[in-house]
Structure formats: C-alpha cells, structure tokens
Amino acid sequence: MFIATLGGIFKFRDLPEEYGPYVQFKATIDKKEITDDDEIAILDITGTDSHHVLFLGEYNDIEEIKEELKDAEAVINHTTLKILGGHL
C-alpha cells in the first residue's frame, strides 16, 4: 500500500502547470468537463513520482475518497483526511 499525502488544493484556474497533465487525464477518465472554478486536490503518492487527482465537487464524503484510493492501492494520511473533510 502507498500513502497519499496532500500536495495542494487549487481552483483549476490557479493550478500549477506541473499538475495539468494529471488533471486532464483524470478528467478524461471521469468524462468530466473542467471549469475554472472546480476545486481540485492533488495527492502525492509516497514512494512514487505519481499524483492522484480529486475533483472535490464530485464527492459526498471522505469515505468515497478512501474507496477510490483503495482501488489505487493507496491509503490517505490522517492530516490529509482532516483537510479534505473540511472541503467537502
């Protein structure tokens, strides 16, 4: 299992360029049309160079995020859970 830690929460319009390809890839998979006001969390996957993208408006609670990460063989750290919970 990998550990997911919060890299940042951004509005799409303020997203650092380095995360753009990850966000576009996730939007394509989810068949999501991104708007400038979408709130996006970037999770860094410890031990890899990978990131996991969360469109925060798509989740009802933290359990849905935990389940998605479980499918990616990752668990979310406690601090990140608390922060994300405040944004849902």
The continuous run of DSSP H or E covering 64 comes out as helix 62-71
88: pLDDT confidence band, cut at 50, 70 and 90?
Answer: confident
Q: What percent of the chain has pLDDT over 90?
A: 89
In degrees and rounded to multiples of 5, residue 39 shows phi and psi of: -90, 125
1: pLDDT confidence band, cut at 50, 70 and 90?
Answer: confident
Which among 38, 43, 32, 31 has a CA at the least distance from the CA of 12?
A: 38
Task: Tell me the domains of the chain and their CATH numbers.
Answer: 2-85 (3.30.160)
